[in-house]
Amino acid sequence: MSAQSYVMARQPASEVLVIGAGVAGLATALAAAPRAVRVLGAGAPGGDGASIWAQGGIAAAVGTGDAPAQHAADTLAAGQWRNDPVAVRHLTECAPDVIDWLERLGVRFDRDGDGALLLGREAAHGCMRIVHARGDATGAEVMRALTRAAARCAHIAVVPQRRAFALARTADGRVVGAWAWSGQAVELWPARAVVLATGGYAALYRHTTNPAGNDGGGIALALAAGAAVADLEFVQFHPTALALPGASGQLPLLTEALRGAGAVLIDGSGQRFMPAEHPLAELAPRDVVARAVAARTLSGHAVFLDARAAVGAAFPEHFPTVFAACMQAGIDPRTQPVPITPAAHYCMGGVRVDADARSSLDGLYAVGEAACTGVHGANRLASNSLLEGLAFGRALGQHLATALPGAAGAALPCPRTYAPLDAATRAALADVLWTHAGLVRDEAGLAHAATRIAAWRATLAPDASAADLLDLAAALIAAMRARRESVGAHWRRDVRAAA
């Protein structure tokens, strides 16, 4: 029986509907006071999306000798100067205030013996500017504080276990809510403003650091409604996920802060190889490190992250999340090098938005990884992701608090039948994207991927919600085919690297 044959329920209207309960969604909701906000979360409260898995910290120019302009310069360089410089300047200038705001909400950042913020360094940063919480559990700590703060706010109602699968629109095209599946009913959630904070699409790949829900669902429903998207070809692969034999889906992440602390990459013979690849060696931009690791693994050589000398006995204290994951896999990182593999990690592309987070559709906004603000360019600088979700989410909430769109009109009937992509096709899609749209691509492989996706799409009913996910995958492939250069996180073996 299809989901659509169940009861259809209209929920009470709200002023702001936020789809996604990660850091971007909760930051938006908190800052939107006193507007009545409903937040639809796909999972349980406090555990929604990829935010909770973020091991890296939050980049902010709060240290002695650092400045937002230097943070901006590093962000532009990592993005291969494809970034929007205005968005970058806004992000880096408001970063210190974001840290202060989080502390006021109860986030417990790591500090040294004198009480100063304990700063770390990650790839492509020119200095120590990464603020961490609980070592390598920054995302979890930030989510704890935001979830607790939202629960105390009378203007916010968090509704868990809801999967939005279509945007509700009026006859003139305005977005006035969303249709969601509750597990028992199709529900219409009306609102004057709809905010997508649903994360990226890295979980579409066979190997990823993201939870399964980060499959681009929010971007897919925006695309289906006609919203403009941008930069879908820029998919960042983290170079150091824990390599588990035969594993697919979400792999444990080995935070970049390990390399910032001095851990090195070695091959099976124990030799470092990154010094020959880039002047910054292990601290080169992620795309450079990931391709270097992939080149060796694809040729049949094992690659390891060696933190024995740099971290050693301090592992349980300084990197408790990584330590637990390694020990669970039977590896003691204090005394053993850790086997690694690249994995799809972060998507620079998404719903195209302006400086106020507005999409091309009236009434629809997007923040966090679901949005393309232009701040990341061709490759995201490490630890700018939590920062972006928090900074732009907070700014959007403040904007909606004073400039909410007019009264919502009547929604047209639901345009989709809730019918998720079947498991077999979903797994086959993950393999196709990993093989042909992964770290290194070419026209032949991308054309093959496009053909496979079109064949799967042709088997679905025109109104099945699963079609939207395949349409997103098709748009991803089309973007990769259209960009005839190798730059940042988009690398093609059949074209020249960008100047």
The pLDDT value recorded for residue 286 is 84
CA distance 428 to 456: 10
Q: Is the pLDDT of residue 399 over 80?
A: yes
Query: What's the CATH number where 218 sits?
Result: 3.50.50.60
| Contacts of 211 by beta carbon, 8 Å cutoff, 6+ apart | 49, 50, 53, 203, 250
Phi-psi region of 402 (alpha: psi -120 to 50; beta: other; left: phi over 0): alpha
Residues 340 and 369 in one domain: no
Residues 205 and 258 in one domain: no
Residues 176 and 200 in one domain: yes
The pLDDT value recorded for residue 328 is 95
Angle at the Cα of 247 from the Cα atoms of 446 and 430, rounded to 5 degrees: 25
Partners of residue 253 on adjacent β-strands: 241
Which range of residues forms the domain containing residue 41? 3-234+348-402
Query: What's the CATH number where 328 sits?
Result: 3.90.700.10
Alpha carbon distances (Å) from 379 to 88, 176, 240, 437:
13, 33, 16, 16
pLDDT tens, residue by residue, 11-40: 878 999 999 999 999 999 999 999 999 999
What backbone phi and psi angles, to 5 degrees, belong to 192? Answer: -80, -30
The pLDDT value recorded for residue 458 is 97
Q: Sheet of 58-59: strands edge to edge?
A: 58-59, 130-131, 119-120
CA distance 486 to 128: 30
The pLDDT value recorded for residue 3 is 46
Residues 294 and 163 in one domain: no
**pLDDT: which is higher, 287 or 232:** 232
Residues 202 and 272 in one domain: no
**pLDDT: which is higher, 330 or 136:** 330
| Contacts of 157 by beta carbon, 8 Å cutoff, 6+ apart | 14, 36, 37, 38, 39
Could you tell me if 468 and 163 are in contact, meaning their C-beta atoms sit under 8 angstroms apart? Answer: no
Q: Is the pLDDT of residue 300 over 90?
A: no
Residue 489 belongs to some domain of the structure: no
Q: At 299, is the pLDDT very low, low, confident or very high (cuts 50, 70, 90)?
A: confident
Residue 417 belongs to some domain of the structure: no
In this structure, what token pair is assigned to residue 105?
């909400």
CA distance 333 to 330: 10
Q: Average of pLDDT values for 424-434?
A: 97
Q: Is the pLDDT of residue 2 over 50?
A: no
Residues 81-92, buried b or exposed e (16+ Cβ, 10 A)? ebbbeebbbbbb
What backbone phi and psi angles, to 5 degrees, belong to 319? Answer: -135, 65
Residues 396 and 334 in one domain: no
Count of domains for the chain: 3
Q: Average of pLDDT values for 402-422?
A: 89
Could you tell me if 338 and 331 are in contact, meaning their C-beta atoms sit under 8 angstroms apart? Answer: yes
pLDDT tens, residue by residue, 345-379: 999 999 999 999 999 999 999 999 999 999 999 99
Q: Is the pLDDT of residue 408 over 70?
A: no
Residue 487 belongs to some domain of the structure: no
Q: At 8, is the pLDDT very low, low, confident or very high (cuts 50, 70, 90)?
A: low
Arithmetic mean of pLDDT over the chain: 94
Residue 128 belongs to some domain of the structure: yes
Residues 248 and 110 in one domain: no
pLDDT tens, residue by residue, 37-86: 999 999 887 777 788 888 889 999 999 999 999 999 999 999 999 999 99
Residues 216 and 360 in one domain: yes
Residues 371 and 451 in one domain: no
Annotated catalytic residues are 286
The pLDDT value recorded for residue 285 is 84
| Contacts of 308 by beta carbon, 8 Å cutoff, 6+ apart | 333, 334, 335, 336, 337
pLDDT tens, residue by residue, 90-140: 999 999 999 999 999 999 999 999 999 999 988 889 999 999 999 888 999
pLDDT tens, residue by residue, 149-177: 999 999 999 999 999 999 999 999 999 99
Residue 38 belongs to some domain of the structure: yes
Q: Is the pLDDT of residue 7 over 70?
A: no
Where is the domain boundary, 344, 374, 391?
344
Residues 334 and 357 in one domain: no
Residues 327 and 220 in one domain: no
Where is the domain boundary, 296, 313, 344?
344
Residue 407 belongs to some domain of the structure: no
Residue 410 belongs to some domain of the structure: no
pLDDT tens, residue by residue, 458-489: 999 989 999 999 999 999 999 999 999 999 99
Residues 194 and 278 in one domain: no
| Contacts of 443 by beta carbon, 8 Å cutoff, 6+ apart | 481, 492, 494
> Lowest-confidence range among 143-147, 295-299, 443-447, 471-475?
295-299
Residue 416 belongs to some domain of the structure: no
